[in-house]
Amino acid sequence: MENKNSKVFKINIYWLLIIAIFTLLVGFGVYQFGKPEQDQDSTTSQTTTTTIRTGDIRVSAIGSGTLISAVEFELGFESGGVVEEILVETGDEVVEGQLLARLDDENLNEALVEAEQNLRELTSDAAIAATALEIAESQKAILSAESELSFFISPYVLKSELRLRDAERELHDAIQAAALNPSDELDQKVSDAQAVVDNAELSLALNWETYYEEYVPDFFNFRWRDRFGGWHDYFDPPSEMEVAVVWAELAAAEARLKEAEIYLTVLTEGVVSASASGTKFTALEYAVEAVVDAQESLEASRLIAPFDGMVVDMDMQVLDKVGTSSILTIAQLEPSTLEASFDEGDWRLIKEGNPVEVIFDSLPEKTYSGQIAFVDPTLVTSQNSTMVSAHVELETSITGWVDIPLLSSATIEVIDGETNNAILLPIDGLQEDVGAQGTVVVEETGEYITRQIEIGLRDLIYVEVTDGLSVGDVVLIGNY
Give pLDDT tens digits for 395-433.
888 777 777 888 889 999 998 888 888 898 888 888 888
More confident residue, 333 or 151: 151
Q: Taking 50 as the threshold, does the pLDDT of residue 389 lie above it?
A: yes
Most confidently predicted of 50-59, 195-204, 282-291: 195-204
* CA distances, 376 to each of 18, 67, 340, 379, 387 (Å): 78, 17, 10, 7, 10
Q: Taking 50 as the threshold, does the pLDDT of residue 120 lie above it?
A: yes
DSSP 301-316: TEEE-SSSEEEEEE--
Task: Tell me how far apart the alpha carbons of residues 261 and 183 are, in angstroms, rounded to a whole number.
Answer: 36
Q: Name the nearest CA neighbour of 280 among 307, 248, 255, 316.
A: 255
Average pLDDT over residues 22-31: 50
Mean of all residue pLDDT scores within the chain: 84
For residue 34, the model assigns a pLDDT of 43
For residue 14, the model assigns a pLDDT of 53
For residue 427, the model assigns a pLDDT of 83
For residue 20, the model assigns a pLDDT of 55
DSSP 132-167: HHHHHHHHHHHHHHHHHHHHHH-HHHHHHHHHHHHH
Q: Name the nearest CA neighbour of 309 among 68, 72, 66, 67.
A: 72
Helices 106-122 and 279-300: crossing angle in degrees, nearest 10, is: 160
By the 8 A CB rule, do 197 and 174 touch?
A: no
Q: What is the dihedral of CA 149, 150, 156, 157, to 10 degrees?
A: -20
Q: Taking 60 as the threshold, does the pLDDT of residue 96 lie above it?
A: yes
By the 8 A CB rule, do 65 and 357 touch?
A: no
For residue 399, the model assigns a pLDDT of 77
By the 8 A CB rule, do 353 and 412 touch?
A: no
Local confidence band at 178 (pLDDT 50, 70, 90 cut-offs): very high
Average pLDDT over residues 432-453: 85
Task: Tell me how far apart the alpha carbons of residues 444 and 446 are, in angstroms, rounded to a whole number.
Answer: 5
For residue 224, the model assigns a pLDDT of 83
Q: Pairing relation of β-strands 462-467 and 93-94?
A: unpaired
CATH of domain 71-101+307-332: 2.40.50.100
More confident residue, 274 or 470: 470
Lowest mean pLDDT among 13-27, 29-43, 190-204, 227-241: 29-43
By the 8 A CB rule, do 441 and 447 touch?
A: no
Task: Tell me how far apart the alpha carbons of residues 386 and 403 are, in angstroms, rounded to a whole number.
Answer: 32
Q: How many CB atoms lie within 10 A of CB 262?
A: 20
For residue 15, the model assigns a pLDDT of 53
For residue 140, the model assigns a pLDDT of 95
For residue 13, the model assigns a pLDDT of 55
Q: What angle do CA 301, 306, 310 make, to 5 degrees?
A: 105
Task: Tell me how far apart the alpha carbons of residues 366 and 400 are, in angstroms, rounded to a whole number.
Answer: 11
By the 8 A CB rule, do 162 and 177 touch?
A: no
Chain Cα centroid distance, residue 136: 54
Task: Tell me how far apart the alpha carbons of residues 408 and 360 are, in angstroms, rounded to a whole number.
Answer: 7
Q: Which CATH architecture has domain 339-477?
A: Beta Barrel (2.40)
For residue 384, the model assigns a pLDDT of 80
For residue 233, the model assigns a pLDDT of 81
Average pLDDT over residues 312-341: 87
For residue 390, the model assigns a pLDDT of 92
Which run of H or E residues covers position 101? strand 99-103
Local confidence band at 183 (pLDDT 50, 70, 90 cut-offs): very high
For residue 24, the model assigns a pLDDT of 58
Average pLDDT over residues 157-180: 93
Q: Per residue in 13-26, pLDDT tens?
A: 555 555 555 555 54
Task: Tell me how far apart the alpha carbons of residues 196 and 171 are, in angstroms, rounded to a whole number.
Answer: 9
Average pLDDT over residues 236-257: 93
Q: Taking 50 as the threshold, does the pLDDT of residue 3 lie above it?
A: no
* CA distances, 245 to each of 2, 148, 240 (Å): 169, 11, 9
Per-domain residue ranges for the chain? 2-46, 71-101+307-332, 111-295, 339-477
- Percent of the chain's residues with pLDDT above 90: 36
Backbone angles phi, psi at 296, to 5 degrees: -65, -40
By the 8 A CB rule, do 167 and 289 touch?
A: no
Average pLDDT over residues 252-275: 85
More confident residue, 272 or 51: 51
Q: Taking 80 as the threshold, does the pLDDT of residue 272 lie above it?
A: no
Q: How many CB atoms lie within 10 A of CB 99?
A: 13
Q: Which residues contact 258 (CB under 8 A, 6 or more apart)?
A: none
